[in-house]
Amino acid sequence: MSDLETDFTSRTSSSKRLHERAKHVLPAGVSYFIRYFEPYPFYISQAKGSSIRDVDGNSYIDFWMGHYTHILGHSPANIVMEVRKQIERGSHYGVCHELEISMAEQIVKMVPSAQMVRFCNSGTEAAMYAVRLARAFTGKAKLVKFEGGWHGGYDALHTAVSPPFHVPESNGITTSALADTVVAPFNDLDETVERLRNIEIAAVIVEPVLGAGGCIPAEREFLKGLRELCVSKDALLLFDEIITGFRLSPGGGQQYYSIEPDLTILGKILGGGFPVGAIAGRRDVMELMDPLLHERPDFSFQGGTFTANPVTLTAGLEMLKTLENGRIINQLNDEGRRVQVALQDIFDRANVDAQVNRAGSLFHTHFTKDRVNSVNAAFDADREKLNDFHHALMTNGVFFLPRKMGAISSAHSGEDLDRLLNEVQKYAKRG
């Protein structure tokens, strides 16, 4: 056992017991395998602001922030207050209520390309319905996704997420489910155009910043080229803004890059800390989900029991109103810049080969001397060292989900960020 593991196990005996128990009833002892790390994950008892506390009483400054959902930190007071009031009025109506209109209006106000909205409960679900809608609208089947792009577990998009791209990401996805999915290299417009020559496509789906793929911002020319390509091929451009939405700017990546997609999928921050997904976009496309306008077989279905859940929408509306004027987001982007520059400086001075990537208030360290602007470059970097780095930080009370990028929230204080820099400094000095 390494020194780091010995230290971890000596501080986390209750987590260890919980994980042993969990393994009997949850595959791998977890509810989502990305949350697993060696030797076993710690179990959280409480989260508030920038801090999480485990069942053994260890506190951590959290940079994982609930899969990047908590841009205002864990359980912000204004959201908690509104949610409490809403629960008294009802946790789920299952029929129409005014909040769904107000929330849709708020999204239309903030997200440049959004004219209409439909809600669902996760990013995966939003991706699934958006793909169906794009196919329905264009009357075509083929989708284009990019290497390293993660859009959730929907069969038609669950491919080429991590190298080697030809190996299936999951057993149980049929060949036919992926037969209409074309994979192209991110940030490589020429090759993308080449691969699509003579292919009819329904949609191109792209993250403005590859999240799971390594915190890699799209080059503006790439997104602009995709916009033009979609127009020329009568296809829809679909932005997956599940991470970038309400993060890069109040209007997400499309506002930040000044490029408007036809459809956008949203999640994470949108729910104010509660489960959510949404599809937003052009009126003429979105109206295909209206069976009063488009009868079967033209109509494209979307729906579900918990759609437009009032607790989620209460939290989400409070979240969006807090972010709308851009003040918090601009401040977080400035802090992101400061953290990136400081971390890069620490590694450079210590002669550690590292690249600190950043997009807004998201940042990620890659241990390599080469610039990281593709998912291959991200996965070619020293991932064992990245794992070791995150475990070393964890031992010292600074939490990144191992190998994942970090996110700054408005709950992170100057001291929290200084603590991060200090711990990275100690790590870099050790080499």
Ligand X SMILES: Cc1ncc(COP(=O)(O)O)c(C=O)c1O
Q: Pick the closest to residue 268 from 250, 291, 292, 244 (CA basis).
A: 244
**Nearer to ligand X (CB atom), residue 242 or residue 323:** 242
Q: How far is the CB of 373 from ligand X (least distance, A)?
A: 18
Strands (E) across 125-235 are located at 143-146, 181-184, 203-206, 209-210, 216-217
Residue 5: partners with Cβ closer than 8 Å, 6 or more residues away? 38, 39, 391
Q: How far is the CB of 123 from ligand X (least distance, A)?
A: 2
Q: How far is the CB of 186 from ligand X (least distance, A)?
A: 12
C-alpha to C-alpha distance for 179 and 181, rounded to whole angstroms: 6
Q: How far is the CB of 94 from ligand X (least distance, A)?
A: 21
C-alpha to C-alpha distance for 422 and 424, rounded to whole angstroms: 5
User: Residue 104 is encoded by which pair of tokens?
Assistant: 């849709």
**Nearer to ligand X (CB atom), residue 61 or residue 157:** 157
The conformation of residue 369, written as its DSSP 8-state character, comes to S
**Nearer to ligand X (CB atom), residue 142 or residue 268:** 268
Q: Pick the closest to residue 299 from 285, 320, 318 (CA basis).
A: 285
Q: How far is the CB of 126 from ligand X (least distance, A)?
A: 7
Q: How far is the CB of 149 from ligand X (least distance, A)?
A: 8
List residues near ligand X by CB under 6 A.
67, 122-124, 127, 150-152, 207, 211-212, 240, 242-243, 267
Q: How far is the CB of 390 from ligand X (least distance, A)?
A: 18
Q: Pick the closest to residue 139 from 182, 202, 181, 197 (CA basis).
A: 202
Q: How far is the CB of 145 from ligand X (least distance, A)?
A: 11
User: Residue 404 is encoded by which pair of tokens?
Assistant: 């994942």
**Nearer to ligand X (CB atom), residue 276 or residue 320:** 276
**Nearer to ligand X (CB atom), residue 272 or residue 416:** 272
Residue 103: partners with Cβ closer than 8 Å, 6 or more residues away? 117, 119, 308, 313, 316, 317, 320
Q: How far is CA 136 from CA 140, 205, 215, 237, 273, in A?
A: 7, 15, 32, 14, 32
**Nearer to ligand X (CB atom), residue 22 or residue 209:** 209
Strand order in the sheet with 44-48: 44-48, 51-54, 59-62, 398-399
Q: How far is the CB of 419 from ligand X (least distance, A)?
A: 26
Asked if 426 and 40 touch (Cβ cutoff 8 Å), the reply is no
C-alpha to C-alpha distance for 237 and 227, rounded to whole angstroms: 6
**Nearer to ligand X (CB atom), residue 123 or residue 261:** 123
User: Residue 328 is encoded by which pair of tokens?
Assistant: 């918090």
User: Residue 75 is encoded by which pair of tokens?
Assistant: 């359980």
Tokens 């919980």 belong to residue: 18
Which residue minimizes CB distance to ligand X? 123
Q: How far is the CB of 278 from ligand X (least distance, A)?
A: 11
**Nearer to ligand X (CB atom), residue 184 or residue 354:** 184
**Nearer to ligand X (CB atom), residue 157 or residue 354:** 157
Three-state helix/strand/coil letters over 290-347: CCCCCCCCCCCCCCCCCCCCHHHHHHHHHHHHHHCCCHHHHHHHHHHHHHHHHHHHHH
Other CB atoms within a 10 A radius of the CB of residue 64 amount to: 20
**Nearer to ligand X (CB atom), residue 29 or residue 267:** 267
